[in-house]
Amino acid sequence: MAVETPAAKPEGPPAPEEVRVGVYVCHCGLNIAGTVDCPAVARFAGTLPNVVRAVDNRYMCSDPGQEMLKKEIKEHRLNRVVVASCTPRLHEPTFRSAAEAAGLNRYLVEMANIREHCSWVHLREKEDATEKAKDLVRMAVSRASLLREQAEKTVPVRRSTLVIGGGVAGIQAALDLANAGYHVPLVERQPSIGGRMAQIDKTFPTMDCSICILAPKMSEAGRHKDIEILTNSEVAAVQGYVGNFTVTVHRTPRYVTKACTACGDCARACPVVAPNEFDMGLAARKAIYTPFAQAVPSTYSIDRNLCLNKGHVIACERCVEACQPKCIDWGQQPEDLQVEVGTIVVATGAGTFDPARLEEFGYRRLPDVITTLEFERLINAGGPTRGHLVRLSDHQEPKRVAFVQCVGSRDLRRGNPYCSNICCMETVKDALLIKEHWPDVAIDVYYMDIRAFGKGFEDLYRRAREEGVRFIRGIPGEVTPNGDGSLRLVGENTLLQERYREDYGMVILSIGLEPQADATTVQRVLTLSRSADGFFMEAHPKLQPVDTPTKGIFLAGTAESPKDIRDSVTQACAAASRANILMARGEISVEAITALVHDESCTGCGLCVKVCPYNAIRMEGEGKGRKARVIEAACAGCGTCGAECMFDAIEMRHFTDAQVYAQIDAATAEHADRKVVTFACNWCSYAGADFAGVSRMQYPPNIRIIRTMCSGRVSPRFVRYAFSRGAAAVLVSGCHLKDCHYINANSQTQRRMERLAEELKRKKIDPRRLRLEWFTAAEGQKFANTIKEMREVVVSVTTDEIQRGVAAYRGRLDGR
Amino acid sequence: MEILREARAFQCYSCGKCTAVCPVAAVDESLSPRRTVERGMAGADLYQEELVWSCVTCKACSYVCPEDVDFPGFVRSLREGMLEAGRPPDYTHGEIMQAIPRLLANRGLTPKRYDWVDRSKVSEDGKVALFLGCGPYLDTVFGYLGGGHIEIAKAAVDILNRLGIKPRILEAEACCGHDLLWTGETGTFEKLRARNQANLSSAGIEKIVFTCPECYATLKEKYKLPGIQLVHLSEVVSAAMGDGGTAALAFAPIAGRVTYQDPCRLGRHLGVVGPPRQVLDAIPDLKRAEMAHSGGLSRCCGISAWIQCNATAKRMQLERVREAREVADTLITNCPKCLVHFKCVLREEGKDVPLRVEDWTVLVARSLSGGDARDGG
């Protein structure tokens, strides 16, 4: 059921005499005051329209500072507050809370960033920094004058969570949530839950038997009255929004009923043999099978791709004949289940790097070159060799074993650029396992770095060395077969500065993790973002490590990035907790920055629907009555629809067009020909500019930043208006294309700016005056360099050129 | 410092893979690209490093380097400084192979080297040119090896004719400058480049076909030739095969056990690994096997830019021809320098290795003009 915003009457800005702005210029000790003349800025602020109080203060964010603010609001009957201090990304919540405590609506607070964007980056240009601070305050006051009170809406939330993925992370999240009283459907595409943890033999650093510690959790999940395990199932579609998701789960039938006792008679009778995926292809299974002994559910499953029976033609019934409880049912059909949940936890796990991509290691060409995952199956007592370590070529025990680290990881050219987290400890553990059973086997580990960073890891690494495992620093350049069946590794021992040529009976490649092959599908179905490494992106790497940018959807386990079991479980507990917070009260409030459609202006063209990354807008009605409707709970407030609408029918709450124009006006009030009007998105580029400030990277003081939630908010109209005001240049910035906080809204920015660039060319305006640039929150240096380059543009742009821009767009407030 | 930064040397993990695959380090264990980089980062005087001249710039290191350090580029930049520091390389063959491009750059000479061209097979004003490179000089300087370079050029013309193309042979073509570029004579290289760019851009051509991988790589990576497509002959032939143009390309049988040597510039520098093989595999009766090191891991012919012909180079060449012999009777080269170097080692140090060497272009032309039947074989 959609939660809609009723059509609103357009309300203009409050009448000027009603607005009473208080401006507070913070010294931040010497951080700001050491560069910017704060008293002068405060005096200047006092001269601006609507400002009734302008004061400077040493530390606004401190308790005394906040108390002062509250007092000021009450004493001077302020109805708008501007705090000129640090970045809003740090203290906006602080000042909003203080204002609220004084009885002022939290949305009536504006900040001017005169620290990260001013005093810290113009340390040696005090006069220019002070002038810039004045401009930033002027911009903030203009915007503040147009801010309106906002009320946050509440939306009901269903008390159930869909967990996607039945590995240890998914199982843990499901158990935590079910134990908290929520209903949890758990979707797993394999016939059994358990995932990777079920495949490995022992866990580091405790050397616990992996399946032994996992199986009880699997059983508990299988028995739990509030967990509905849906194996052989995949999520096909997700509709709705936080609190109200409707998920279509596609179930492939097992053709075996719940009456199955897992006796295995059917498998013994089945004539079809195939490699068992669970054993990495090193052992066989039948067409009717259970992937491993401790499978949950234990019900067998028929792989119809392998089974001799196709469609309705039943030619072979050996399993049916062998089955005593008579639980094989050819009549089962695939079905699509509709599941209604309030939150979703994505725990879809990771794939592994295929080392055949690095031909020098001979994987698949040479049978005695195996991966660490294949090793886990070999050494496992339940595996294909009953736990005996033997060479695949001749089933002999190897006397010398080599491990090669970083296979497919930390490789910019032919592998994945990131470190896969677990491979060092995986190898240390494997080496100890070998030594435990066959103490005379010589083990050499070829590495670049050994990362034993976690609790107990260094101890395990020490134990391995104590047992005589040699660590040789130098990755081999090739693995070649010798005539006698052994394998030769050639490389440079970088610590001894000598070449080595060593022979082994077995070479084990420590492969890295990578995103699952179907990550793109999952991403699309759930509207997730992926980070540069291809794993699913969290909302914030430090402060929101298990949230996704999509409200109501959380991440756990290796789906988010490579990690070990402990961290997967930790994240699963965290995701469960985050989901719990959303669902506990039965309702959530939505930040009041959402889109609002003004029916009387809406022509029903539908362009807004096309650009919304969240499918949060729907067209309703027919003919002249066809209007866009925003589903407020699904709206993330990116503003892309607002920028797309050609009829001014969409108002972006708290980031209105009028407010943006007011900021542009303020920024270009004086010496516009020296200024670069800069749009920066809240999540990446504004943060990148903050980072440049924190790192004290110095750059020229020409830019004036206007913050929007997303670069998709930046309409070409804003850019044209800036030119019409005589700005030297405009810089539009946002997240890198794959990293948009609002999934893909920045692709609209790119499209619009490219078209605008064409338009500028037609109007013979210097194309360097409009620049589109993407920054991550960490690219402070790139930000600073870009501003330096823009300064060259500012300095070289002639008065004629400025006038050309003014003339081209003069008098067109709407830029159409 | 700048050189280190441009080559991304600071990103070096010191993992040792470069040294592990370096063909020079394989025969001379005192040399190691990794150690050279490390010493550079530690502030050592890199102009004292032997590897600066001994590196054959084959890019095997770059192929495996996880941090994409550009060691050959690094070496190339250092070589400029080596000359300035009065530490030139050991030039081979009396420095003639450097003298020729220097003359072409500094004296603006236009050599008469196309007397052998059959004018009926080439065009005076077509849009597709064949870049000849050093072929004619190599036959003269390396006559004692039995020549074969003008033969490559003629074969290339023949193959193009069969594809319906009469290529232009540009009288004004000067040496591409590869050897000067890679021996630190950047200034002279730039003069050659300017001359070539001017002539090529104003000749009204749209495509240049190369037989020499070094000319191809140099023009592709270092020249600015807007509007001109650069392509290797093997790519042209393999594309024509793909278009179903097998009527024009009737490969006649040539019996033999061959293996293909990937030239460094064609294989690793430019990534052209498939097309030459595809064409060879289309020749009936020709059995092709891969050497132990092939494709991205292929081993260099031992010498680059006509310098440092010494025991190390000879050992590299010897090991490579032995590797070839393990899988074939004939080594197919696709680069005029590989041809010279392998023929040379087989004459002396490799006398006991029963291996023939044949150029790819010549072999393909042979097949297209009747193959064994024509040669009575």
In this complex, which of B21, B34, B65 lies closest to A478 when CB atoms are compared? B21
pLDDT at residue number B165: 92
Joined together, the tokens standing for residue A588 give 């959530």
Helix (H, G, I), strand (E, B) or coil at A450: coil
Residues in CB range of A431: below 8 A, 6 or more apart: A403, A443, A445, A464, A467, A469
pLDDT tens-digit profile of A230-256?
Answer: 999 999 999 888 899 999 999 999 999
**What does the DSSP assignment read for A665-698?**
HHHTSS-GGG-EEEEEETTTHHHHHHHHHHTT--
Chain B positions in Cβ-Cβ contact with residue A415 (cut-off 8 Å)? 66
pLDDT at residue number A779: 86
DSSP β-bridge partners for residue A589 = A154
A312 has pLDDT over 90: no
A9 has pLDDT over 50: no
Using alpha carbons, select from A755, A244, A204 the residue that is nearest to residue A510: A204
Contact B296 A359 (CB under 8 A): yes
Helix or strand holding residue A250 (H, E): strand A244-251
Contact B32 A492 (CB under 8 A): yes
Average pLDDT, chain B: 91
Contact A413 B65 (CB under 8 A): yes
pLDDT confidence bin for A6, thresholds 50/70/90? very low
Mean pLDDT of A4-25: 65
pLDDT tens-digit profile of A493-515?
Answer: 999 999 999 999 999 999 999 99
pLDDT tens-digit profile of A536-582?
Answer: 988 878 888 999 878 899 999 999 999 999 999 999 999 999 999 99
- Calculate how close chain A gets to B6, using CA atoms only, in Å: 16
Contact B297 A476 (CB under 8 A): no
How many angstroms separate the CA atoms of A539 and A267, rounded?
46
Least confident stretch, A173-182, A650-659, B141-150: B141-150
- Calculate how close chain A gets to B18, using CA atoms only, in Å: 7
pLDDT confidence bin for A16, thresholds 50/70/90? low
pLDDT tens-digit profile of A656-672?
Answer: 999 999 999 999 999 99
Q: Which of residues 24-43 of B touch A (CB under 8 A)?
A: 25-26, 29, 32, 34-35
Chain A positions in Cβ-Cβ contact with residue B26 (cut-off 8 Å)? 490, 499
Contact B15 A494 (CB under 8 A): yes
Measure CA B146 to chain center.
19
Chain B positions in Cβ-Cβ contact with residue A413 (cut-off 8 Å)? 62-63, 65-66, 68
Contact B65 A499 (CB under 8 A): no
B187 touches chain A (CB under 8 A): no
B147 has pLDDT over 90: no
In this complex, which of A359, A493, A499 lies closest to B297 when CB atoms are compared? A359
B21 touches chain A (CB under 8 A): yes
A731 has pLDDT over 90: yes
pLDDT at residue number B377: 46
Mean pLDDT of B3-29: 91
A524 has pLDDT over 90: no
**Higher pLDDT, residue A550 or A147:** A147
pLDDT confidence bin for B326, thresholds 50/70/90? very high
CATH assignment, B2-84:
1.10.1060.10
**What does the DSSP assignment read for A177-211?**
HHHTT-BEEEE-SSSSB-HHHHH-SEETTTTEEHH
Chain A positions in Cβ-Cβ contact with residue B66 (cut-off 8 Å)? 406, 410-413, 415, 448
Measure CA B296 to chain center.
15
Contact B66 A415 (CB under 8 A): yes
Joined together, the tokens standing for residue A331 give 């009549």
pLDDT confidence bin for B291, thresholds 50/70/90? very high
B12 touches chain A (CB under 8 A): no
Per DSSP, helices labelled H in A681-764 are 685-694, 716-724, 745-762
pLDDT at residue number B248: 61
Chain A residues contacting B via beta carbons under 8 Å: 359-360, 406, 410-415, 448-449, 473-478, 480, 490-494, 497-499
pLDDT tens-digit profile of A332-365?
Answer: 999 999 999 999 999 999 999 999 999 999 999 9
Tell me the pairing of strands A729-734 and A770-774: parallel
Q: Answer whether the bond into residue A93 is a cis peptide, omega within 30°.
A: no
pLDDT at residue number A736: 87
B296 touches chain A (CB under 8 A): yes
Mean pLDDT of B155-166: 93
Chain A positions in Cβ-Cβ contact with residue B25 (cut-off 8 Å)? 492, 499
Using alpha carbons, select from B187, B66, B12 the residue that is nearest to residue A357: B66
B190 has pLDDT over 90: yes
Contact A499 B25 (CB under 8 A): yes
pLDDT confidence bin for B171, thresholds 50/70/90? confident
In this complex, which of A412, A473, A475 lies closest to B20 when CB atoms are compared? A475
pLDDT at residue number A528: 83
In this complex, which of B15, B66, B292 lies closest to A413 when CB atoms are compared? B66
Residue of A nearest to B67 (CA): A412
Ramachandran quadrant class, A405 (left: phi over 0; alpha: psi -120 to 50; beta: rest): beta
A462 has pLDDT over 70: yes
**Higher pLDDT, residue A178 or A531:** A178
DSSP strands (E only) in B152-265: 207-210, 229-232, 256-260
pLDDT at residue number A7: 40
- Calculate how close chain A gets to B365, using CA atoms only, in Å: 32
A10 has pLDDT over 80: no
Residue of A nearest to B60 (CA): A477
pLDDT at residue number A193: 97
In this complex, which of A477, A480, A494 lies closest to B64 when CB atoms are compared? A477
pLDDT confidence bin for A472, thresholds 50/70/90? very high
The ranges of chain B annotated as CATH 3.40.50 are: 247-368
Q: What is the longest distance spanned by two Cα atoms in chain A?
A: 95
Return the percentage of chain A with pLDDT > 90, whole number.
86
**Higher pLDDT, residue A11 or A772:** A772
pLDDT at residue number A529: 79
pLDDT at residue number A2: 37
Chain B positions in Cβ-Cβ contact with residue A405 (cut-off 8 Å)? none
Mean pLDDT of B293-318: 92
Mean pLDDT of B336-362: 94
Mean pLDDT of A481-498: 95
Cα A726 to Cα A42, A250, A663, A789, B221: the distances in Å are 27, 58, 14, 19, 42
In this complex, which of B16, B67, B293 lies closest to A474 when CB atoms are compared? B16
Contact B66 A412 (CB under 8 A): yes
pLDDT tens-digit profile of B195-240?
Answer: 999 999 998 899 999 999 999 999 999 999 999 999 999 999 999 8
Average pLDDT, chain A: 93
A486 has pLDDT over 80: yes
Chain A positions in Cβ-Cβ contact with residue B15 (cut-off 8 Å)? 406, 448, 474-475, 494
CATH assignment, B247-368:
3.40.50
Q: Which of B12, B19, B30 to mutate: most A Cβ within 10 Å?
A: B19
Contact B20 A411 (CB under 8 A): no
Joined together, the tokens standing for residue B15 give 């993992």
Chain A positions in Cβ-Cβ contact with residue B16 (cut-off 8 Å)? 473-475, 491-494
A13 has pLDDT over 70: no
pLDDT confidence bin for A8, thresholds 50/70/90? very low
The ranges of chain B annotated as CATH 1.10.1060.10 are: 2-84
pLDDT at residue number A700: 96
B217 touches chain A (CB under 8 A): no
pLDDT tens-digit profile of A739-768?
Answer: 787 888 999 999 999 999 999 999 999 999
Mean pLDDT of B56-84: 93
B317 touches chain A (CB under 8 A): no
Residue of B nearest to A411 (CA): B66
Mean pLDDT of A616-626: 90
How many angstroms separate the CA atoms of A50 and A627, rounded?
37
How many angstroms separate the CA atoms of A314 and A689, rounded?
67
Report the alpha-carbon angle A380-A382-A386, nearest 5: 75
pLDDT confidence bin for A327, thresholds 50/70/90? very high
Contact A478 B20 (CB under 8 A): yes
Chain B positions in Cβ-Cβ contact with residue A492 (cut-off 8 Å)? 16, 19-20, 25, 32, 34
pLDDT tens-digit profile of B231-283?
Answer: 999 999 999 887 665 556 889 999 999 999 999 999 999 999 999 999 999 99
In this complex, which of B19, B34, B64 lies closest to A360 when CB atoms are compared? B64
Please state, as a whole number, how many other Cβ atoms lie within 10 Å of the Cβ of residue A386.
9
Contact A494 B34 (CB under 8 A): yes
Torsion angle of the four alpha carbons B42, B44, B48, B54, in this order, in degrees rounded to the nearest 10: 10
Structure-token match 């699963």, residue found = A572
Least confident stretch, A446-455, B42-51, B180-189: B42-51
- Calculate how close chain A gets to B326, using CA atoms only, in Å: 14
Chain A positions in Cβ-Cβ contact with residue B13 (cut-off 8 Å)? 410, 448-449
DSSP β-bridge partners for residue A502 = A489
Return the percentage of chain A with pLDDT > 70, whole number.
97
Structure-token match 């401006």, residue found = A23
How many angstroms separate the CA atoms of A452 and A49, rounded?
61
Contact B25 A412 (CB under 8 A): no
pLDDT tens-digit profile of A773-816?
Answer: 999 888 889 999 999 999 999 999 999 999 999 999 887 654 43
Residue of B nearest to A493 (CA): B16
Measure CA A687 to chain center.
16
Torsion angle of the four alpha carbons B179, B184, B186, B187, in this order, in degrees rounded to the nearest 10: -110
Contact A473 B296 (CB under 8 A): no
Mean pLDDT of B187-192: 94
Chain A positions in Cβ-Cβ contact with residue B63 (cut-off 8 Å)? 413
How many angstroms separate the CA atoms of A194 and A200, rounded?
11
Residues in CB range of B110: below 8 A, 6 or more apart: B171, B172, B174
A602 has pLDDT over 90: yes
- Calculate how close chain B gets to A480, using CA atoms only, in Å: 9
Least confident stretch, A263-272, A742-751, B35-44, B243-252: B243-252
Chain B positions in Cβ-Cβ contact with residue A360 (cut-off 8 Å)? 21, 64, 297
B19 touches chain A (CB under 8 A): yes
Contact B19 A410 (CB under 8 A): no
